[in-house]
Structure formats: structure tokens, C-alpha cells
Structure 1
């Protein structure tokens, strides 16, 4: 059993999760302001959004195994300092390129935070029931950050410049740095084995060409160069996997994937986040630039979804004692799919009620399922490999989010461009924010015509993305029901 100090430690570990979820939603609301000030192209805007997640995805496995070796608390505190410094750089960026670099550095810092939090929870809470409650609180912190981010960010955007949304990271990191050393225990693998620099290099080298290829598709469509880049990345990934099989002490323990609950949970998380984050890229722009809501008002309309997410996360631990985990995870994802279905009913002239209902179902369903799958991931791994297991889970999470933004965002952008009349200015064709800025420079009649066509095209792009989300979540729900069966999850539900 754990005491008061351990629960205080949990409160500290929730801080990085809170911060990362705040960043996820804040940036979406800041995009219209970024478009006006820094004038990014469509491709640059996608880079600004998802370079952070791609850097996380590329570095999480390395950072997770590094935490197992040098100490998870030490890595967490180092990452907090780096994350705070990169936040300052992002806040005072003077160009789209500079902001992309700052976001990349934020990803490096963030890669040290996420695996450390879950692995420390595994070390602190050894009782399965208490660990499930701790992970539920951890997940609820993620959902509450999604509520705090838009409201706080919206207020900042109405009173200060867009860079202020990054400065809110600094005080949170300072609290973590000041309090963490006193309440967090150090934990590491007592026999980590020899560190393999080549495996570390291969893990990153496999990710970056894939990222580059996806970005080429986003900017120029499917080309030979994009295909070659992706194939190079996949080839290096195969080399990395084969090396792990050959090593006596691999950087990534592939035996973890032989556990059906572990591998099924990782894939479920990745696909669920793929659908959700792809839409989070679009909805804040729809609320502000199509419906004309202010940032604060738009954020307040998203609060019910976040409350549903907190409730879903906290209910997960209680429901798992009474209902099969596979059924709960599958049910949560199918509820989220209904939310996506509701979004197909919005229009350029209205649809706020559909957005609120959709995001409420989405928030509650995804929070319920991911709380349980995270518990399965952590429970399936031995304590000494908790950092690596957490890193694999978070890699799937971040890769799913980044791919969701890149692929679904690119699909929405393609639909948006195809819906605009011939001869529309390139700046208006790149982004909806660019169309709004261009319309302001035209005479009233022409400007209004551009706005109407741009808003309609953007809404159609959101419809296509929502239908894709329905398909992905229905498939993921069925897959979870099949893979996360009762027998495999009996240890988790004890």
C-alpha cells in the first residue's frame, strides 16, 4: 500500500501530462493568429503543428531506455528544463521556420517527459488496483489539460500576442523542477546492459525519412521522391528490428510485443489518437474562422467534451472491476465513432450543437478506452523495463497523433483547395486563415464571396476527415474487442 507521499508524487507526475495536453489544444486555437503574423504556407503550418509529435515519436524509445539506465527521475527533470527553455524560444519566434525549430526542440524535451511519468507510476504503485486508479488520474490530467488549454489560451490570445500560449509552459516546468526532487523516487533498471549507439541512431534514422516522405505528400501530393523517402525509412526500420532480435541486450525488447494485451493496446492507442488528433487540427479553425467565435467562446463550447474525458478516465478503473476490459475499450471507441458521425452534419452556416455533442462523445469514449489500454501496457511489462514499455506506448500515441495531423490534415487541405474557384490567390488556397486575410484586402463583395467559398470548402474537408475518423474508430473498436480478450487481461482486472 502507498502513503501520502506517493499520492503527492502522482500529483507532480500529472503536471507534464497536463502541460502536453494544454500544448496540443492551445496551438490549434493559435493557428489563425500564427497565419496572420508569420504567414506560413500550408506545408509550413503542418510542420508547425506536427514536427513536435514526430520528434517525440522518433526519440521516445531512446529516451525510455535512457531513463531505465540513468534514472527516470533524473531524465524527467532534465526534460523539464529543456522543455521550458524551448518554450521561451517558441514564444519569441519571428518566422515560421524559427517556430518549426522551436517546436522540434519542444519535441526533444517532451520525449524525456512522457515515458518517465508512466514508468515512475509503475514503480511507485505496485498494487494493480492502486496503479489502475493512478493511471486513471494520469489520464484525467490529460483530459483536464485539454480544458485548461483552450480557455487559458483563448484568454491569452485575446489579451496578448500568440507567443504567450507557449510561455504558460514555463511556470509548470518550474514547479516540476522545484518539487520533483523531494517527492519523486529515483527508479532505474538495476541491470540495464550495454548501451547500443547504433540502435539509437537506427531508431531515429528510420523515423525521419518516413516523416519527410509524408511531408512531401502533404505539400506536393504522391511523388516518386516521397515514395522513395518512405521506403528508405521502412527499410531502416527493418534493419533496426533485425538488430534488436540479434542483440543479447537490445535497446528495444521486442518480446514485449509477444504479449497480446501489450501489442493490442499499443495499436489501439495509435489508431484512436490518429483519428482524434486529425480532427483537433480542424475544429478550432472551424469554430473561429467559419462560425466566427472568439477564441475564449470557442474554448468554452469545448468544455463539455473535456469534462466527459475526465469522467470517462475516472470511471474506467471502477468499470473495469465489473465489465470485460475488451468490451469497455471497444465500447469507448465506438462511442467516439458516433461523435465523428455527428460532425458530418455540420455546415458552413452553423453546426455548433453538433460540434459540442460530437466532442463530448469523442472525449468520453477515447478517455475511457485509453485509460484501460495504458494500464494494460504498464501491467504487461516487468518493472525494470517500465521505461521502455512506456516509451513504446507513447511512441504509438505520438506517431498516431502526428500521422493523423499529417494524413487527415493533408486530405482536408486537398478537399479545401479543390473546393475553391479557379484563380483564387495562392495565399487563400494554402489555409483558411490565409483566405480570411486575403478577403480583408479585397473589396467587400469579392471578399465576402471568397469567404463563403473558403468556409464551405473547409467544411467539406472536415466532413471527409470525420468520415475517415468513423471508419478508423469502428475498425479499432472491433480490433480491440478481438485482441484484448478476458483471459489475456485477467491480471489487469485483478
Structure 2
């Protein structure tokens, strides 16, 4: 008898929709900032809070949300998150001031934090076959990449036709469709009962929010207050989680080579990716003269390559093993950053570099995530998924801060000494002055080369970590352990009887 969940591929569509709504919203918002600021009279500080309030709340709540999903039900928590995200998006369309929009973004961050860990944890509980799980993760990752690249394009088209409010309106029907499909198709699953860890939750929220704030502020200098809060709270969190009998986050997972290798290598990969969109979108618009929509369309080669190689990577991972596939993908990614660093002054070169980057990411990231998630016990899938999300978010934020700082300092150093200070710090200001525009574009070229050399170094470092830490063995053959068989039988029974799926002896 086939013990696999009969609706698993339909469930994957629901999970992809849930992830897509989060990714598209954040990327579409980046092109909505100018009209939004003009309409609401938002200051530069207001804009910063509109963009960052979501990320601060999202990053701070991820670990707690993952723990809640394991405890109270992953489908339930995901649906609550989608409801909150959709309602907050609707509220954002009605905002008449920057303060109201910031409040809506905070609520959206809470909803996003509830949704994100649940999607991956449900995926690994529904797809019990190793080969199918790899394909499902590849599809999930490809949809996330599609949203990342397509968000600015969709946002530009919507804003041109319906105004900035449309980037929030689009979330409402997608969230509603995902909720309806989840209720109809998806089984409930949860881990065994565990004693709550409120102190761990509070410390993680404070520590991660302060850490993300510190990283985001690096471009303006070190925020010592937030840095001290982050260090104290996260240190206390680690000590508490290692000492308490019922930790919210199973830190012992880092003793597993696959989990540690996958986590650390993904962090460095995301450092490179985090700065990519930031630096390249400015290059396309201020140096090459692209419109925001054209800049979004310029990322299509990377999206196509990612879609293609996510599937290829799933097949290679099954044949070669996680380590070989992940290392290969990361080396290919480094080569893509290298091409951007050496030459990026033509559309052909840009397209080739982005295709190489997308191919490398398609090979590396799903494989590293598969290795990481394969080390997590099913009963801790929610908090394990949240740990993966947190690691990647921290890496991306660090990438934006570090690579953004490299780009800014390199650009400033390459600008003429007699240029106004504002023009030496911002190419957006410099290109408005005809006397400085050519020098500014040349300076940004040099800055981008230095930035992508740093990105390539980070991804090569990730490849070294993956080579040293990930296990080299190929995936286990189709023979299953008694525990796996029992889990699959439980999944099928839950699907057939519409009862909640409770893993690991709940």
C-alpha cells in the first residue's frame, strides 16, 4: 500500500502560494516607495520604518512562531498567519499616514513570521519519500525565486495602473486562496506536547530584533545600544536553552554535521545574495539608465536559470549526494559573481552572469536546505524550519549591510575629491548633476566590482564549509526504518480520516 499522502502535490501548491505572497509583497514594495512617500508625505525616516518594521518583527518572531506551530498545529498557525497577513495588507491599502502604514507593516510582519516556518515544516511532514521531498523543496525554492525576481516587475505594472495601494491589494486574494486550499486539502500536524519556554521566546525576540536592527544600521555606523542588547539577549538565550529541560530551540541540532554545514554555508550564500539586488538594481537604474520595471525584467535570466536548475539540482542531489551538489552549485555561484565583478557593462554580460548565478543557486540552495532539514526530527519540524529561516534572514540582512557598506565606501573613494559630500555618498544624487554624472557612473562601476568580489569570496567560503561539514554519502536507499514507515502510515491515516497528524508520540 502506498503510504504517501494522496494530496501531497496539491498541498505543495498551497505551500508555494503561502510563500509567494510573502516574497512578492516585500519585493513589490521596493518599487512602490517613491509614489507612496509622495502620497503620504513620508520622510526618509518614515520610509526606513515602513521597510524595516516588517523585517524587525518577522526576524524577532520566527523562532517563537516555529515553536508554536509544533505545539499547536502547523496548519492552524499558518492559516492564522495568512489571515493576519491578508487583513493587515487590506489595512495598508487604506493607510492615510506613514504611521498607519508602519502599524500595518508590523502586523504583516507578525503574520509573515507565523506563515514562513509552517510552510517548510508541513512540506517535510507531508513528503516522506526522500526523492519526492527533494523535488518538492526544489519547486518551493523555485517559486520563492520567481517571487523575488518577479515582485518588482509586478509591482511596477500594478503601480502604473492602480497606484501604490495595489502592491498590498494583491496580497488579499492570494492569502484568501491559500487559506481556502489549506482548509480543504491540508492535514494538521504537530509535535509531541512540550512544556512552554516563555523566557526563551522573549530572549529570542529581543535578541534577533536587536541584531537585525544593528545590521541594518551598519551603513550609518554601529548602533552600540542595539548591539549590546543583541549580544546580551542572544547570549542569555543560548545559555538558557542549553540549561533548561524544555528548550524552545533544539541547539543540539548543531552537533549534526549536515545541520551545521547546511546552516553555516547557507548563511554565507545569503550574505552574497543579500547584496546582489541592492547593488545591481541601483547599477541598472543609475548607471545604465533602466526604469524600475526594466530593472526588474533584467533579472529574468536568473529566474529562468533558477527554475531550471532547481529541478536539476534535486536529481543531482539524489545521485551525487548533498555535499557534492551543494559545493558544485556554490562554486558556480561564485563564478557568476566573478563575471559581474569583471564586466557588467552590456546586457549580454549581465544576462550571462545572472544565468550562471541562478544556475548555481538552483543547484546549491535546495540541496543545502535538504541536508539541513533532513537532520531535524519530524516532531521539531516547525522550530527547525524557523531556525533555517532565521539563519537565512540574518545572512541576507548581513549581506545587505556588509556589501552595501563596501559599495558605499568604494564609491565614495572613487569619486572626485572636490565633489559635494551628498554626491560622494549617493549615486542617486550625483547623476542629477550633469558635471558629475559620468564620474559617478565610473565610480559606481568600480564600487560594484569590489562588492561582487566580496560576494564571490563569501560564496566560496560557503563552499569550503559545505565540503568540510556536509556528509559525503549519497542518500539512503529506498529501504525505510520502522519509524519512517510508522510516520508515513500515520500521515496516510490522517489524510483518509481527516484527523490531525500528530508526530512522535503525541
What is the TM-score when the length of structure 1 is the normalising length? 0.87
Q: Is the 8 A contact 2:57 2:106 kept in 1?
A: yes
Q: Aligned residue for 1:330? A: 327
How large is the Cα RMSD of the aligned pairs?
2.8
Please identify, of 32-41 and 60-69, the stretch whose mean Cα deviation from structure 2 is larger. 32-41
| SS of aligned partner of 2:7 | helix
| SS of aligned partner of 2:342 | coil
Residue 406, structure 1, aligned to residue 369, structure 2:
no
Q: Is the 8 A contact 1:155 1:295 kept in 2?
A: no
Residue 364, structure 1, aligned to residue 365, structure 2:
no
For structure 1, list consecutive stretches of 5 or more residues without a partner in the other structure: 440-446
1:4-403 counterparts in 2 under 5 A? 4-30=6-32, 41=44, 48-91=50-93, 100-191=102-193, 193-219=194-220, 221-222=221-222, 226-227=223-224, 229-346=226-343, 350-403=345-398
Q: Is the 8 A contact 1:136 1:314 kept in 2?
A: yes
Q: CA deviation at 1:154?
A: 2.8
Q: Deviations over 1:299-323 (max 9, x none)?
A: 3322111011011111122112221
Q: CA deviation at 1:287?
A: 1.7
| SS of aligned partner of 1:77 | helix
Q: Aligned residue for 1:443? A: none
- C-alpha distance in 1 between matches for 2:141 and 2:256: 23
- The counterpart of 2:451, out of the listed 465, 471, 490, is 465
Q: Is the 8 A contact 1:270 1:401 kept in 2?
A: yes
Q: CA deviation at 1:271?
A: 1.4
Q: Deviations over 1:395-447 (max 9, x none)?
A: 111111122122222332333444455676676566444556xx3xxxxxxx3
Q: CA deviation at 1:128?
A: 1.7
- C-alpha distance in 2 between matches for 1:419 and 1:21: 35
Q: CA deviation at 1:381?
A: 1.3
Q: Is the 8 A contact 1:79 1:109 kept in 2?
A: yes
Residue 474, structure 1, aligned to residue 475, structure 2:
no
| SS of aligned partner of 2:319 | coil
- The counterpart of 1:456, out of the listed 442, 453, 477, is 442
Q: Is the 8 A contact 1:13 1:117 kept in 2?
A: yes
Please identify, of 229-238 and 266-275, the stretch whose mean Cα deviation from structure 2 is larger. 229-238
Q: Quick one: structure 1 residues 449 and 491, their matched pair in 2 at CA, closer, same or farther if it must change by over 3 Å?
A: farther
| SS of aligned partner of 2:190 | coil
The count of aligned residue pairs is 476
Q: Quick one: structure 1 residues 217 and 148, their matched pair in 2 at CA, closer, same or farther if it must change by over 3 Å?
A: closer
Q: Deviations over 1:69-127 (max 9, x none)?
A: 11111110111122123334445556666655544433222111111001111221122
Q: Aligned residue for 2:495? A: none
Please identify, of 24-33 and 246-255, the stretch whose mean Cα deviation from structure 2 is larger. 24-33
Q: Quick one: structure 1 residues 466 and 36, their matched pair in 2 at CA, closer, same or farther if it must change by over 3 Å?
A: farther
Q: Is the 8 A contact 1:54 1:398 kept in 2?
A: no
